[in-house]
Amino acid sequence: MSSSSSLLFSINNEGKVYALSTSGSCWREFMYLGLEFKTLSAVPHYLWAVGGDRQIYLHVHGLEIPIRVKEESYENERWLPLEGFSGRLLPTDRYHFSSQDGTKDRSIDRIRLPSMAWQWEGDWQLELTLDGQPLDHDGWSYAVDFPAHFSPVKQWKSCVRRRKWIRYRKFSAMNSWCAIAPLHKDPTQEPFIDVSIGGNEIPYASPGTLSVWAITAHGRVMYRAGVSTVSPEGLKWINVSIPPNCDIKQISVGPTGLVWALLWTGRAIVRKGVTKDCPNGDGWLEVKSPSETKLSVISVGYNAVWAVGSDTRVWFRKGIDGNLAGSSEAAAMGNGWLEITGHMIHISVGKNDQVFAIGDTDKCIYWRSGITQSELTGKRWRMVQANMQLSRTSSSASVVSSASNAKHHSLTTLSETTPELKSNIHLHNSWEESHSAPIEHTLPVKPKDRRPKGNTNVENIDLTGKSYETTLKNPRAWSPVRSVGSVVGMEAQPDSDSSVFDVDSGMYFDEEVSQTAWGTCDTTWAFVEAGACSMDTVQVPHWFTDNQNAHNSDLNTKWRVQILENLKTRNQIQDIDLTNYGIAIEEKGWTRSCEARLVCANNTFEDSILSLYWHALENIGTLSVFQPDGTIKFILNLGEVTSVFTSSEPGCPRITMLVPRQLRDGIKVQFISEMEQEEWFSVLVDITSQINGLSGKPSPNSIWAITNLGDIINWDPMAAQLNTEYNGSYKKEFQVFGKDIMSGFSTNLNNNFLPGSTLKITGSLSDDIKRFHINLQGPEIKKQRHKIELEVTDIPLHFNVRFDESIVVCNSKSFGNWGVEERHPLPLAQGQEFSVTIVSESKGFKIVVNDKSYCFFEHRLNPENITSISVQGPLKLYTMDYCTTSVIIDPEEMIWRVMGGYLRRIESCQNGIIWGISHDHRAWVYTGGWGGGILKAIGSNEGINPMTDTQTYCVYENQRWNPLSGYTSTGLPTDRYMWSDITGRHKRTREHTKLLGRHWHWISEWMIDYNTPGGVDNDGWQYATDFPAPYHGKKIFTDCVRRRRWYRKAQIVTEGPWLRAGSTALLDISLWNNGEDVTVWAITLGGEAIYRTGVTANTPAGVHWEHVNSPQSFIAISTCNYMIWAVGRKGELYYRDGSSKENISGSSWKLIETPKCNTPFNPKSSVGVKCVSLTKYSAWVLLSNGLISVRTDITQEHHDGKHWKYLTDSEMTFKDVSSIEHEVWAVCTDGTLYRRLGVTAENPTGSVWQRVHSGPTVHVTARGSLLE
Amino acid sequence: MANDREVLREIWDGKLPICFQLAQEEIMEIQQPDPFYVMVPRLSYFPLVTDKMKRHFLRFISQENADNEMWLDYNGQPLKWHYPIGFLYDLYCGIDPQLPWTLTVHFTKFPEDVLLHCPNKDVVEAHYMSTVKEADVLKHRGQVMSTMQKKDHNQLWLGLQNDKFDQFWAINRRLMESHGDNEGFKHIPIRIYSDDGSCFQRLVSPKNVDGSRKVLQQMIAELYPDKINIKLRTHGITLPLDTPLQWLSEHMSYPDNFLHLCVC
């Protein structure tokens, strides 16, 4: 189920909370816990509410991975004579335990859990790496003095040392109501009447910021300090003063942090000055109400404020601008009320300013349709008509049945949700910790409802029932009075669980039971909250019965079934023989032509006319390119095109076709319009796929790659494999007839010449032939000697026929030196036809001439290294047949098919499960379809889903200081562009940044980035002494230059055979399967390692993420054979110790020795790792300098392997590598795709790179490959 | 929107076996010509599918008539080429299906008063496009057709002519979308024919006064208040009376975007 769905919340007239998912069509009730709710306010995943007891509750839900916070403390020591290092520091020194900069006391015994909603995850641990370098097991790093640069090595001058303690705490009150502490000891003294959450899109604020406001019964306005996505309950209430004579009854916070409040008198006041630095604003402004109207409900959106009056009229406030509301009073207040038709009693504005309201007469929920950025008032009200899940909490049986679901635990089992079973003593402990939470007026609480250790499940159910009973009798037992963040009621499922909010698994109920309890019953609604609900106005949810979506429910109606049945039977004509009936419309060839431009290598253009001819029955297609005057330039057989992909640039719609047999770099065509380009693209992909018999889902063993424009291309080896296999051996005939041999003919074998391989050459010798030779040779290897590069080719077999000397010489050549000649008598005569067969045997080459065994040449060099054959001399070749034991893959015959969709990364495994990650870090899983987006006409619509992706464009504004005018945008003549990219070498301006195509659109304005790495000041500037230098956020007096980053977000809307999988943002993912058994590991955006459960061929998206504790944050991961390797943020490598089939998650992360890369080309010593691809016996590791090294001798005993090996045959640098078993593919820095040949168990680094696709590609996965 | 692909595909694939026979009076040779058998798409038009048949019969007729316009009749009833073939069959044989459908081919005595002339396929295209436009005026006040480009029109026509479902529906789906905030068309393009071939066209809204979906039965009650037990036939099937008109129009219109229903 799509976890990208969001929820609309509502409260019925009985005070019960319901949720309606945008991907569902049924209201689901939140478990009733004996507590009614008055009001709700939501942003995605976070819900704040005022309960019937007038206290405030928090509900965190739908997060796939737990909220974890890392507490850090640095232990500092100083070296003293006599004592050595000790915790006794100088009075001027920092605290013994401090924060990183030493300014704060961080004694680890005083770091407590903020509230009972949190739990510690393990104990304090030492961090044992520093910038990717391992530290000794005490974790100390040394420096001359505080503050200074710390290094792992102790020196004579090291006077201080420190080590870092870390401990994680976890928010454990997920999916349950969690009470927030009252303001006073006696909660009835100042209860709450309203609460509102928003601020999730405050302009420029760091991600995760939230703001919560509340109103007490005394009319005080409270702002909750410290609320964010990682601190859902915040720290404390802060009183915000209000103007005199203002008695506030309702408050609403918009996504931009803008606050409007309503007075009992029906007037509205607005909080001004709400910005990222001042989230609670700096003053109130009064807004005039619509004449003769008392407002009763108000709701703030991004660029809109909606209100309803006590007379049920609906009002829209014009002129609100969420981006400027913090700085401009006019933008915060708007400039006038506009009456909207309809009579409503309640209103709520959600994401994208979509509006929901409750009707006055029918108490039904309505959605305002037609709201867009340009038309914020929308068009009309549409009734939300979703089925209702009947309330069953009145029946005790259902409570038991729900409790019997293993997913549900009562509060009392809360502490058992951690892996180790904890006794109630622990519960007591955790309470003790929460007691000291930094919140005022917290009352101590007695741990309630203690259970003896080791309760069985049955008792558990019983107890749950009892505690539920207790709830009814004595609500105070559950009231929030006792503690901050105490957990009320039941958890749906421990920790993270997205399935709770899935559409078809009952929200808190058994599937079975909930089925029967569905029904349509009229509910009268009292309250609706849309803050978490994101409506897709293009594809509205199935909530409306009055619209075109209704046809979905038509699918099973009687009339539709009847029509379809009749249609199917009408053509069944029994008594006529239809064989002699011709087809009325014959398939014909068709042509299509257009004017276009050929883009040449040096970026010049040639105007031309393209003409495409296609005959489906004959399966023939040609592309003719004409000059504008009609003379022909060239004609291309579309059967020779191996890849078609888009290569557009802004304003230049382009397609590239690769024709490796004709041209090295392919043909690039620029079209007049995007529409034309898309049509041609679709047609070309369709035709080339038809010619090569490709359609639908590719085989599981395909290679997948991604081009630099996000096109997903696929090569399916099945076709090639089937075509050439014959009795277990693979044969290839080279086209040699008529080739010029005089100057030498050489061809790549695309394989090697292991024992069992044969090569047969036939031809005729010319009459005056003096000499000819046949070489079986290795790849060209560049060697550097005395700074002079040489190209050296090893020749394991040189077969030289010399008619002038009447002998045959066999020899070999290695490192540029010929070996010892072996001479044989001449078997051939000038002017005759001949055949030569070379058979590779285990000891040497058997050479057969004219079908008679001729000689034997012992192997001097490994025949594995033979990659090509070369023939030279005055002769004619007739045939050349090559036969070997493994598949011969000729890149000229590799047909790459565009699959549809838009992704950044892709990962496969051998049973056909494919996952992708888009630029916005969302995960997608392949549905088995083909097409979508601009490939519209291709394939069927099966498995094709809408896709979006977001990319951020950045430009840098650079300024230089001069003594007269301060910082200005006049630089020195030698300076970088004043508007540039990050390097400063390329000019980039906001105005000239263009989108790539019509499927892209801007979703923001240009904004200053206040989160630029390195820190920024209040205007977003960061300073440095000069360009380029390290930038810092605080201006110091030596700074002469400054820069700031502007960003703007763009979104692509397309389609593809992909479906969202989970809602967690991912950086990297790795798949591996052992038969049916699939392991999926991933790295979240926050750098945490997670693995997916329930992934099978039938449910490729799996069920949910399991989180694995990690002290480090990671950037890449790879798994194979139940082993896991991960790359840390600093480029260090880890493996997961103790992982096995039985215990997938393993026990701990251990460091792997970093590769020391000392190749002749790059004499840098130690470099970080960028990504890793793990196989059963080796790991291919891409280093940050673009080189590749291989870890060998990996076994089940040594997950970390034993030796590093380096590729020495070329100095190419790469940006991606993917390997499985003996198949290794990599993307070169220039975007060319390579495959490694000759990788075997004995030679794990392989022998040579084979160029397979000239790209530009950015990413490849070979993890599904099964070629060996 | 028309997205019940299963139904659309089924309708598109509807074919009729037809047996063409040359009218006796046309035969100038001693040898009797063989009848010409062909499977014809129900959604197509006769001038698009009769080229081969015409060539087959040409050598049996008097050469002076070879350039004459060919026409067809069924049981003495001249067939109007500007109606879809499937509709013509439903009209004349719907109640009493006879397969193969045996038609007589004529090269002389063109029934000027009954049939329109059709000198070439361009005329069929022009007629087809004008019908689509008329339907669009009824559905969307003509807004969709007028925003389409010439090549879209072309693709629509070529899709029909070459029997390419995807090519045709890539464009036709835009014609079948509801526009703006209105769910449903302004009016349903519908033509109802009595068994004598007379046509009946009215403005029919897809919704009832109260906003609910109008079904076939309700439309019949409006159009034929005095008759009961009327059944409507199209695409070779009798329509269930509770089918909503909007759905019917989206899915069961002929390529010219009209519902052609026969009363039976």
Contacts of B161 in chain A (CB under 8 A): 585
Q: Which residues of B touch A581 (CB under 8 A)?
A: 17, 37-39, 100
Which run of H or of E encompasses B7? helix B5-12
On chain A, the residues whose CB falls within 8 A of the CB of B235 are 567, 570
Residue A189 and residue A161 share a domain: no
Which residue type occupies A48? W
Nearest to A1121 by CA among A1107, A1102, A1140: A1140
- Evaluate whether A1054 touches A935 at the Cβ level (below 8 Å): no
Q: How far, in whole angstroms, is CA B201 from its chain's centroid?
A: 15
User: Torsions phi, psi of A1174, nearest 5?
Assistant: -100, 135
Q: Facing residues of B74 across strands?
A: B77
Query: What CATH number does the domain containing A1217 carry?
Result: 2.130.10.10
Q: Which residues contact A374 (CB under 8 A, 6 or more apart)?
A: none
- The C-alpha of A524 sits at a distance from chain B's nearest C-alpha, in angstroms, of 23
The answer to whether A380 contacts chain B (CB < 8 Å) is: yes
Q: Given B14, B184, B244, which is nearest A571 (Cβ)?
A: B14
CA dihedral angle for residue A1066, residue A1069, residue A1074, residue A1078, rounded to 10 degrees:
10
pLDDT of A469 reads: 30
Number of structural domains chain B divides into: 1
Taking the CA atoms of residue A263, residue A264, residue A265 and residue A268 in that order, the dihedral angle to the nearest 10 degrees is 20
Q: Is A291 on the interface with B (CB under 8 A)?
A: no
Look at the alpha carbons of A377, A378, A380, A383 in this order and tell me if their dihedral is positive or negative: negative
Answer whether A227's CB lies under 8 Å from A67's CB: no
- Structural domain contains residue A744: yes
pLDDT of residue A585: 66
User: Cβ B14–A567 below 8 Å, yes or no?
Assistant: yes
Task: With respect to residue B41, please indicate whether it lies within any of the assigned structural domains.
Answer: yes
A227 or B229, greater pLDDT: A227
**Which residue of chain B comes nearest to A586, CA vs CA?**
B162
**Which one of A560, A577, A935 makes the best mutation probe of the B interface by having the most chain B beta carbons within 10 Å?**
A560
Closest partner residue to A568 (CB to CB) among B10, B17, B44 is B10
Which among B163, B213, B237 has the least Cβ separation from residue A567? Answer: B237
Task: Please state, in angstroms and rounded to a whole number, the distance separating the CA atoms of residues A38 and A955.
Answer: 48
AA identity, residue B259:
L
- Do A1029 and A1080 belong to one domain? no
Residue B243 and residue A560: Cβ atoms within 8 Å?
yes
Question: Do residue A221 and residue A369 come from a single domain?
Answer: yes
Query: Is residue A374 less than 8 Å (CB to CB) from chain B?
Result: no
CB proximity A941 to B under 8 Å:
yes
Question: For B129-172, how does the pLDDT look when each residue is reduced to its tens digit (9 = 90+)?
Answer: 999 999 999 888 888 888 888 878 888 888 888 888 877 887 88
Chain B partners within 8 Å of A586 (Cβ): 52
Query: Nearest residue on chain A to B149, judged by CA atoms?
Result: A675
Question: A1109 and A1239: one domain?
Answer: yes
Q: Which of A1014, A1033, A1056 is the last residue of a domain?
A: A1056
Q: Are residues A1225 and A1099 in the same domain?
A: yes
Q: Do A249 and A126 have their domain in common?
A: no
What CATH number is associated with residue A279?
2.130.10.30
Cβ contact A559–B243 (<8 Å): yes
B213 and A550: CB-CB below 8 Å? yes
Q: Of all helices (H) and strands (E), which one includes residue A781?
A: strand A780-785
Residue A751 to residue A757: CA distance in whole angstroms: 10
* Nearest one of B164, B160, B175, B184 to B245, comparing CA atoms: B184
| Residues A751 and A833 grouped into a single domain | yes
Q: Is position B194 within any domain? A: no
Closest alpha carbon to A414 in A576, A643, A222, A178: A178
Residues in B touching A372 (Cβ below 8 Å): none
Residues constituting chain A: 1268
pLDDT, residue A892, reads 81
**Are the Cβ atoms of A584 and B244 closer than 8 angstroms?**
no
C-beta of residue A43 within 8 angstroms of C-beta of residue A255: yes
A585 touches chain B (CB under 8 A): yes
Measured in angstroms, the CA of B40 and the nearest CA of chain A are apart by 5
Task: Please tell me the distance in Å from A554's CA to the nearest CA on chain B.
Answer: 9
Q: Is the ipTM of this complex over 0.85?
A: yes
Which of the residues A551, A685, A1055 would you substitute to probe the B interface, choosing the one with the greatest number of B C-beta atoms within 10 Å? A551
Residue A1191, strand partner residues? A1179, A1204
**Does residue A1095 contact residue A1102 with C-beta atoms inside 8 Å?**
yes
Mutate: best of B1, B34, B38, partner A, most A CBs <10 A: B38
Report yes or no: A840 and A858 within 8 Å, Cβ to Cβ.
Answer: no
Q: Under 8 Å CB-to-CB from A83, ≥6 apart: which residues?
A: none
Q: Residue A580's closest chain B neighbor by CA? A: B37
Radius of gyration of chain B (CA): 20
Domain containing A332: what range?
A: 181-385
Cα nearest neighbour of A551 on chain B? B247
- The position carrying tokens 């808190």 is A508
* Enclosing domain of residue B44: 15-106
- Which residues from chain B sit within 8 angstroms of residue A673, using beta carbons? none
Whether B61 is covered by a domain: the verdict is yes
- A407, part of any domain: no
**Segment among A552-556, A657-661, B77-81, B113-117 with least mean pLDDT:** A552-556
**Shortest Cα distance from A569 to chain B (angstroms)?**
9
Residues of B with Cβ-Cβ distance to A558 under 8 angstroms: 240, 242
**Beta strands A725-726; A844-849: pairing state:** unpaired
Q: Chain A: residue nearest B234 by CA?
A: A567
Which regions in chain A score pLDDT beneath 50? 1-3, 391-521, 547-551
Residues A1130 and A990 in one domain: no
What's the rounded mean pLDDT across residues B246-261?
Answer: 89
B26 CA: distance to closest CA in chain A (Å): 23
Residue B19: inside a domain, yes or no? yes
Option in A369, A557, A583 nearest B181 (CB): A369
Inter-helix orientation angle B150-161/B121-140, to 10°: 120
Does the CB of A567 have a partner CB in chain B at under 8 Å?
A: yes
Residues A1034 and A1123 in one domain: no
A559–B contact, CB cutoff 8 A: yes
Distances in whole angstroms, Cα of residue A275 to Cα of each of A204, A319, A966: 9, 19, 27
Question: A193 near A50, Cβ under 8 Å?
Answer: yes
Q: Contact at 8 Å (CB) between A1016 and A1065? A: no
Statement to judge: residues A849 and A981 lie in one domain:
no
Tokens 């302004």 belong to B186
Q: Judge whether B216 lies within some domain.
A: no
Q: Do B49 and A584 touch (CB under 8 A)?
A: yes
In this structure, the answer to whether residues A737 and A754 fall within a common structural domain is yes
Residue A1243, φ and ψ in degrees, nearest 5:
-120, 75
| DSSP secondary structure letters along A951-983 | EEEEEEEEEEEETTTEEES---TTSPPSEE-TT
Q: Please give the structure tokens belonging to residue A329.
A: 């009073």
Q: Is A722 on the interface with B (CB under 8 A)?
A: no
Contacts of A580 in chain B (CB under 8 A): 37
Three-state DSSP class for A550? helix
- Cβ atoms within 10 Å of A185's Cβ, excluding its own: 10
A506 falls within a domain:
no
- Please give the torsion angle defined by the CA atoms of residues A376, A377, A378 and A379, in that order, rounded to the nearest 10 degrees: -150
State whether A546 and B170 contact (CB < 8 Å): no
Three-state SS annotation for A696-754: CCCCCCCEEEEECCCCEEEECHHHHHHHHEECCEEEEEECCCCCCCCCCEEEECCCCCC
Q: Do A149 and A242 sit in the same domain of this protein?
A: no
Q: What one-letter code names the amino acid at A70?
A: K
Residue A934: name the closest of A676, A691, A696 by CA.
A676
Long-range contacts of B49-55 (CB under 8 A, 24+ apart): B49/A584, B49/A585, B49/B85, B50/B20, B52/A582, B52/A584, B52/A586, B53/B20, B53/B105, B54/B105
Q: Which CATH number is A794's domain given?
A: 2.60.120.200
Assess whether the previous peptide bond of A1256 is cis (omega < 30° from 0): yes
Which domain-ending residue is among A1036, A1056, A1076? A1056
Compute CA distances A521 → A36, A386, A391, A488, whole Å: 20, 10, 10, 29
Interface touch A564/B235, C-beta < 8 Å: no
Decide if A548 and B178 are in contact by the 8 Å CB cutoff. Answer: yes
Distance from CA of A1233 to the nearest CA of B (A): 35
From B51's Cα to the closest Cα of chain A, the distance in A is: 9
- Confidence at residue A1125, expressed as pLDDT on a 0 to 100 scale: 93
Measured distance CA(B72)–CA(B88) in Å, rounded: 12
| Inter-chain CB proximity A571 and B178 less than 8 Å | no
Per-residue pLDDT of A25-78, as tens digits, reads 788 887 777 788 999 999 999 999 998 889 999 998 888 788 888 888 999 888
Q: Determine, for residues A581 and B38 on separate chains, whether the beta-carbon distance falls below 8 Å.
A: yes
CA A593 distance to own-chain centroid: 40
- Note whether residue B118 is domain-resident: no
Count Cβ atoms below 10 Å from residue A249 Cβ, excluding itself: 16
Phi, psi of A918 (to 5 degrees): -90, 175
For chain A, state the CA radius of gyration: 36
B6 CB neighbours in chain A (<8 A) are 564
Q: Nearest chain A residue to B246 by CA: give it.
A: A548
List the single residue in A370, A568, A581 with the smallest CB-CB distance to B37.
A581
**Of B5, B52, B163, which is closest to A582 when you measure between CB atoms?**
B52
Q: In this predicted structure, what is the pLDDT of residue A4?
A: 63
A564–B7: do the CB atoms touch at under 8 Å? Answer: yes
Residue A738 lies in a domain: yes
* Long-range own/partner contacts, residues A452-458 (CB < 8 A, 24 or more apart): A452/A424, A453/A423, A453/A424
CATH number, domain containing residue A601:
2.30.29.30
Domain boundary among A998, A1024, A1056: A1056
Which residues in chain B are closer than 8 Å to A547, comparing Cβ atoms? Answer: 183
What is the CATH classification number for the domain harbouring B98?
3.10.20.620
What chain A residue is nearest to B211 in terms of C-alpha separation?
A546
- A370 touches B at CB < 8 Å: yes
Amino acid, single-letter form, for residue A1077: D
